[in-house]
With several copies, the nearest count.
Chain A
Amino acid sequence: MSILVNKNTKLVIQGITGRDGKFHTGKMKEYGTNIVAGVSPGKEGLILDGVPVFNSVAAAVKATGANTSIIFVPAPFAADAILEASEAGIELVVAISEGLPIQDMIRITPILKMNGTLLIGPNCPGLITPDEALVGILPANIFKKGNIGFISRSGTLTYEVVNLLTLNDFGQTTCVGIGGDPVAGLYFIDLLQRFEDDPETIAVVVIGEIGGDAEEQAAQFIADKMTKPVVAFIAGQTAPPGKRMGHAGAIISSGSGTAAEKIAAFNKAGVPVAKEPNEIPELLRQKLKK
Chain B
Amino acid sequence: MKIHEYQARQLFRKYEIPVPEDVLCYTVSEVEKAARDLNRMVVVKAQVLVGGRGKAGGVKLARNVDEAVSAAKQILGMDIKGFKVEKVLVADAVDITKEYYVGLINDRNTKTVTLMVSSEGGVEIEEVAKTNPEKIIKFHINPLTGLLDYQARDIALQLFSDIKVAQKAASIFKKLYKLYVETDATIAEINPLVLTPDNEVLAIDGKMNFDDNALFRQPEILAMREPDEDELVEIDAHNKGLSYIRLDGNIGCMVNGAGLAMATMDMIKLYGGEPANFLDIGGSSSPQKVIDAMNILLNDKHVKAVMINIFGGITRCDDVAKGLIKAMEVISTDIPIVVRLSGTNAAEGLELLKQTNLPTVSSMSEAAQKAIELSRL
**In the complex, A touching B, CB below 8 Å?**
yes
**What residues of chain A have their CB less than 8 Å away from a CB belonging to chain B?**
20, 41-43, 55-58, 75-77, 80-81, 83-84, 99-107, 109-111, 125, 137-139, 141-142, 152-160, 163, 180, 182-183, 207, 209-210, 212-214, 217, 233, 235-240, 243-250, 254-255, 259, 275-278
How far is B284's CA from A20's CA once the two chains are assembled, in angstroms?
10
Most buried by B among A125, A214, A246: A246
| Contact, CB under 8 Å: A101 / B261 | no
How far is B365's CA from A254's CA once the two chains are assembled, in angstroms?
31
A-B residue pair count with CB separations less than 8 angstroms: 209
B312: which A residues are within 8 A, CB to CB? 139
A100: which B residues are within 8 A, CB to CB? 213
Cross-chain pairs A/B with CB under 8 angstroms, 23 sampled: A41-B154, A56-B154, A76-B217, A102-B184, A106-B112, A111-B145, A137-B283, A139-B343, A142-B343, A163-B343, A183-B111, A217-B109, A235-B259, A236-B262, A237-B266, A238-B275, A239-B265, A245-B261, A245-B278, A247-B259, A249-B108, A250-B262, A254-B124
| Contact, CB under 8 Å: B278 / A83 | no
**What residues of chain B have their CB less than 8 Å away from a CB belonging to chain A?**
106, 108-109, 111-113, 124, 126, 142-145, 148-150, 153-154, 157, 161-164, 166, 181, 184, 186, 211-214, 216-217, 243, 245, 247, 255-263, 265-270, 275, 278, 280, 283-284, 311-315, 342-344, 363-365
| Contact, CB under 8 Å: A277 / B213 | no
| Contact, CB under 8 Å: B166 / A244 | no
| Contact, CB under 8 Å: B216 / A76 | yes
A159: which B residues are within 8 A, CB to CB? 257, 311, 313, 343
With beta carbons under 8 angstroms apart, the residue of A41, A81, A138, A154 that contacts B258 is: A154
- Quote the shortest CB–CB distance from B128 to chain A (angstroms): 12
| Contact, CB under 8 Å: B257 / A106 | no
A80: which B residues are within 8 A, CB to CB? 148-150
B149: which A residues are within 8 A, CB to CB? 77, 80
| Contact, CB under 8 Å: A139 / B344 | yes
Closest A-B pairs by Cβ, 10 of them:
A154-B259, A42-B163, A246-B258, A156-B257, A157-B259, A101-B214, A139-B313, A235-B262, A84-B150, A236-B262
Chief secondary structure at chain B's binding surface = mixed
A275: which B residues are within 8 A, CB to CB? 270
| Contact, CB under 8 Å: B343 / A238 | no
- Quote the shortest CB–CB distance from B51 to chain A (angstroms): 9
The closest CB in chain A to the CB of B280 belongs to: A246
How far is B317's CA from A159's CA once the two chains are assembled, in angstroms?
14
Task: Contacts A154-B260, A159-B311, A250-B258 given; indicate if A103 touches B109 (C-beta within 8 A).
Answer: no
| Contact, CB under 8 Å: A110 / B342 | no
A210: which B residues are within 8 A, CB to CB? 262
With beta carbons under 8 angstroms apart, the residue of A56, A154, A214 that contacts B257 is: A154
Task: Contacts A156-B260, A213-B108, A236-B266 given; indicate if A99 touches B154 (C-beta within 8 A).
Answer: no
A109: which B residues are within 8 A, CB to CB? 111-112, 143
With beta carbons under 8 angstroms apart, the residue of A83, A153, A276 that contacts B150 is: A83
| Contact, CB under 8 Å: B142 / A110 | yes
How far is B215's CA from A100's CA once the two chains are assembled, in angstroms?
11
| Contact, CB under 8 Å: B270 / A101 | no
Task: Contacts A110-B144, A111-B145 given; indicate if A238 touches B212 (C-beta within 8 A).
Answer: no
A238: which B residues are within 8 A, CB to CB? 247, 262, 265-266, 268-269, 275
Task: Contacts A156-B259, A246-B243, A246-B261 given; indicate if A41 touches B157 (C-beta within 8 A).
Answer: yes
A107: which B residues are within 8 A, CB to CB? 143-144
Task: Contacts A157-B260, A160-B260, A160-B263 given; indicate if A213 touches B143 (C-beta within 8 A).
Answer: no
B275: which A residues are within 8 A, CB to CB? 238
Q: A109-B111, A213-B108, A236-B262 are in contact. List 18 more A-B contacts (CB 8 A).
A: A41-B154, A41-B157, A42-B161, A56-B154, A56-B157, A80-B149, A102-B106, A102-B214, A139-B313, A154-B259, A156-B313, A235-B263, A235-B266, A238-B266, A245-B258, A246-B258, A277-B364, A278-B365
How far is B268's CA from A212's CA once the two chains are assembled, in angstroms?
24
The closest CB in chain B to the CB of A251 belongs to: B186
How far is B230's CA from A229's CA once the two chains are assembled, in angstroms?
43
- Quote the shortest CB–CB distance from A29 to chain B (angstroms): 16
| Contact, CB under 8 Å: B108 / A182 | yes
B363: which A residues are within 8 A, CB to CB? 278
How far is B155's CA from A41's CA once the two chains are assembled, in angstroms?
11
A212: which B residues are within 8 A, CB to CB? 108-109
- Quote the shortest CB–CB distance from A28 to chain B (angstroms): 13
